[in-house]
Amino acid sequence: MSLHKLTLRELQDKFTKGEVTAREIVSAYTLRINQVEPKVKAYITRAHESAMAQAETLDQKLKAWRRTMPLMGMPLAIKDNICTEGVLTTCASRILGTFVPPYDATVIARLRGRSYLLLGKSNLDEFAMGSSTENSAFGPSRNPWNLGCIPGGSSGGSAAAVAADECVAALGSDTGGSIRQPAACCGVVGLKPTYGRVSRFGLVAFASSLDQIGPITKDVADAAILLNVIAGHDPLDSTSADLPVPDYTRALKKKDVKKLKIGVPKEYFAEGLDPEVERAVLDAIEELKKLGGEIKDVALPTTDAAIATYYLIATAEASSNLARYDGVKYGLRSKQTKDLLEMYIKTRQEGFGPEVKRRIMLGTYALSAGYYEAYYGKAQAVRTLIRHDFEAAFREVDLIVTPVMPTPAFKLGEKIQDPLQMYLSDIYTISVNLAGIPAISVPCGFSKAGLPIGLQILGRPFEEETALRGAHAYEQATNWRMKRPTIR
Amino acid sequence: MKISKEEVEHVAKLARLEITEAEKEVFSKQLSDILTFMDKLKTLNTEGVEPTATVLEQTNVFREDKSRASLPVEKALANAPESEAGHFRVPKILEER
């Protein structure tokens, strides 16, 4: 069997047993990437040479003493808004087109500690702002199931790379669905951890109160393995939670959801939900019932206000965070400007793409004198109502299940001219970020056109284990993961 | 909420963005559409509701006041478009008199 088809767990097993070397792994993936990358365009930067050098060092080290750890020798794709020391990190923006970070993000330092192999930096919407990767300054990635469709976003490159076997697993970031939605579009697994579960140090900030790094993988077990390595307290991120990290793979031992109460919010099955997606998700809920879950209706009445709330808070935070791109310390600087103010303005004009500008404008407006209370202040209060909805629901149930996206992946270009339509496609994923809870996207079927559909499972804060258990039980009871895309 | 071209210009100035005439038109329409959609929040009663700035329950996080290793100057300057004598170099700020 070709190495690139294996899951992280399977490849890890082969590597641990010494059946395959790190060099062989890098060679196999390089071959695979060379084959399909011209079509999929998952990567912004490839790191073949450094990966091969790391692999050689690792193989040498293991010759002397064969002792392996999870993630050792495993070839990953890292979303290009996560800092990798010495490797270009662009955020898919012209303004950071030449930025080589002088340090590693904490998640990368942890992976390096395990001697992982960095295959490359994967594509995204510029500064993670978008739902399709079409906002990348370097061009969109493609959906491996249908090259005319979006891979989702903003971690579309990571999801496409996993689905196309261009890496064994990937890291993404999720501010309003940017891990779960591309995972659903590409038929893979994506986990957004609880806010504070994974350090954000070295993740280029979009909306600091919402951003979270998480795994995108071929199956649920792989997500647990990767989360084990990246989760945990980090003194360098004051918002990372100082709580013990369980072994998430233990959550997978039970192959059922017996004694779990599973909530279904009617607000998530309303107007705008594609009938094929609805059918697939309802069938999945039926399957969870067969696996021993007690299905209950729950109410999340503030759902209708979530998009407006999210796009005020996220853009307000973004307008502050992106103020740092001024042409002084790193990245692009506009040439031949006569004074400092002109340099700032011209640099930002040349460096940012339309969606980033639109969001900076929106956020600046929401924070500006005279509008702060009416927009930003109001959104923060509604955010509290959304949190209360989830707190009340999770007093009744252990998990909540919903669709990930209202439709399967749409066509490239379909929504790019209408930003509001694009924002509306985030309806099922953004509340999770506003409430700070964990959620996982797992494949639950295909549309008639052959595009993957995702099931979203939400859990209580810091109860990733329960969400993983539910997703794993469902995944193991169904065969969706066996179907792989043919790239053409 | 209708956003006029003048308001677009004002916000662009606050955000240190330069907006072309064509962009002014587009942003005026798009931001109006988006903010009109957001006006639905006004129908929700939030009287007495505390705002959420973060979902974390912790307040301040302290560390010991000890000096630590930091990024060497040359590494910190490595990405700078222009640097000189250990500093970031920028265009003139003050006019000569």
pLDDT class for A202, splitting at 50, 70, 90? very high
Distance CA A9, CA A67 (A): 17
- Greatest alpha-carbon pair distance for chain B in Å reads 58
DSSP summary character for residue A437: -
Query: Residues of B numbered 29-88 whose beta carbons fall under 8 angstroms of chain A's beta carbons: which are they?
Result: 30-31, 33-35, 37-38, 40-42, 44, 46, 49-56, 58, 61, 63, 71, 75-76, 78-82, 88
Whole-number percent of chain A with pLDDT over 90: 94
Q: Which amino acid is at A4?
A: H
- φ, ψ of residue A401 to 5 degrees: the values are -120, 140
| A294 in Cβ contact with A261 (< 8 Å) | yes
Which of these, A435, A475, A464, lies nearest to A228 by C-alpha position?
A: A464
Q: Residue A388: in which H helix or E strand, if any?
A: helix A378-396
A407 contacts chain B (CB < 8 A):
no
**Separation CA A390–CA A285 (nearest Å):** 19
Single-letter code of the amino acid located at A442: V
State the helix-helix crossing angle for B5-14 and B21-38, rounded to 10 degrees. Answer: 90
Please give the average per-residue pLDDT across A224-232, as a whole number. 98
Distance CA A122, CA A216 (A): 12
Percent of chain A with pLDDT over 70: 100
pLDDT of A293 strictly over 80: yes
Three-state DSSP class for A278?
Answer: helix
Sequence spans of domains, chain A: 3-263+281-298+394-482, 304-381
pLDDT tops 70 at residue A27: yes
Beta-carbon separation of A358 and B3 below 8 A: no
- Mean pLDDT, residues A394-407 taken together: 98
- CA–CA gap between residue A227 and residue A359 (Å, rounded): 31
Q: Across the interface, do A361 and B42 touch by the CB < 8 Å criterion? A: no
CA A40 to CA A8: how far, in whole Å?
A: 21
- Rounded to an integer, what distance in angstroms lies between the CA atom of residue A62 and that of residue A55? 10
Compare A274 and A66 and report the one with higher pLDDT.
Answer: A274
Checking if the pLDDT of A73 tops 90, the result is yes
Q: How confident is the model at residue B93 (pLDDT cuts 50, 70, 90)?
A: confident
Give me the pLDDT at residue A454, please.
98
**Per mean pLDDT, which range of A8-12, A298-302, B23-27 is the poorest?**
B23-27
| Rounded-to-integer distance, Cα A161 and Cα A232, Å | 26
β-pairing verdict for A294-298 and A117-122: unpaired
In chain A the first and final C-alpha atoms are separated, in Å, by 21
Contact B11 A374 (CB under 8 A): no
pLDDT at B96: 66
pLDDT band at A115 (very low <50, low <70, confident <90, very high): very high
Separation of CA A325 from chain center? 24
Asked if residue B59 belongs to a domain, the reply is no
Q: Does residue B24 lie within any of the structural domains?
A: yes
Note which residues in 420-449 of chain A have CB less than 8 A from chain B. Answer: 420, 423, 434-436
User: What average pLDDT does this structure show over A213-235?
Assistant: 98
Higher pLDDT: A140 or B56? It is: A140
In degrees and rounded to multiples of 5, residue A184 shows phi and psi of -65, -45
Tell me, what amino acid is at A475? Answer: E
Q: Which domain holds residue B28?
A: 5-42
Amino acid identity of residue A317, one-letter, is E
Buried b (16+ CB within 10 A) or exposed e, A227-258: bbbbbbebeebebbbeeebbebbebbebebbe
Segment A96-107 shows an average pLDDT of 98
**Into how many domains does chain B fold?**
1
Tell me the mean pLDDT in the region B21-41. Answer: 92
The token pair at A340 is 């400092």
Average pLDDT value over all residues in chain A = 96
- B56 pLDDT higher than 90: no
Helical pair A106-113 and A220-230, crossing angle rounded to 10 deg:
100
Given a cut of 90, whether residue A337 has pLDDT beyond it is no
DSSP notation for A175-200: SSSTTHHHHHHHTSEEEEPPTTTB--
State the average pLDDT over residues A249-258.
95
Among A71-75, A388-392, B88-92, name the one with the lowest average pLDDT.
B88-92
Which tokens hold the place of A274?
């594609």
Residue A93 near residue A15 (C-beta atoms within 8 A): no
Residue A336 pLDDT level (bands cut at 50, 70, 90):
confident
Say how many CA atoms lie within 13 Å of A165 toward its Cβ: 20
Q: What average pLDDT does the structure give for chain B?
A: 91
Q: What's the CA gap between A129 and A292, in Å, rounded?
A: 39
- Which residues of A are designated catalytic? 79, 154, 178
Lowest-confidence pick of A125-134, B23-32, B53-62: B53-62
User: Which residue among B15, B76, B81 places its CB closest to the CB of A361?
Assistant: B15
Say whether pLDDT at A372 is over 80.
Answer: yes
Looking at residue A32, its amino acid is: R
The order of strands in the sheet holding A75-79 is: A43-46, A117-122, A75-79, A169-173, A213-217, A189-192, A439-446, A452-459, A399-403, A261-265, A294-298
Distances (CA, A) of A459 to A192, A193, A437, A444, B56: 11, 10, 6, 18, 16
Q: Is residue B16 part of a domain?
A: yes
Question: How many angstroms away from the CA of A264 is the closest CA of chain B?
Answer: 23
pLDDT at residue A428 greater than cutoff 90 = yes
In this predicted structure, the answer to whether residue A118 has a pLDDT above a threshold of 70 is yes
Q: At A185, which amino acid appears?
A: C
Inside any domain, residue B95: no
Which stretch of A80-84, A372-376, A468-472, B55-59 has the lowest confidence by average pLDDT?
Answer: B55-59
- Give the DSSP letter string of A81-119: TB-BTTB---TT-GGGTT---SS--HHHHHHHHTT-EEE
Give the model's pLDDT for residue B97: 65
ipTM: 0.94
Q: What is the mean pLDDT of residues A182-192?
A: 98
Mean pLDDT across B66-94: 93
pLDDT at A1 over 80: no
A361 at B interface, C-beta within 8 A: yes
The domain spanning residue B24 has which CATH number?
1.10.20.60
Residue B86 lies in a domain: no
CATH superfamily membership of A3-263+281-298+394-482: Amidase signature (AS) domain (3.90.1300.10)
Cβ contact A349–B41 (<8 Å) = no
- Please tell me the total number of residues recorded for chain B in this structure: 97
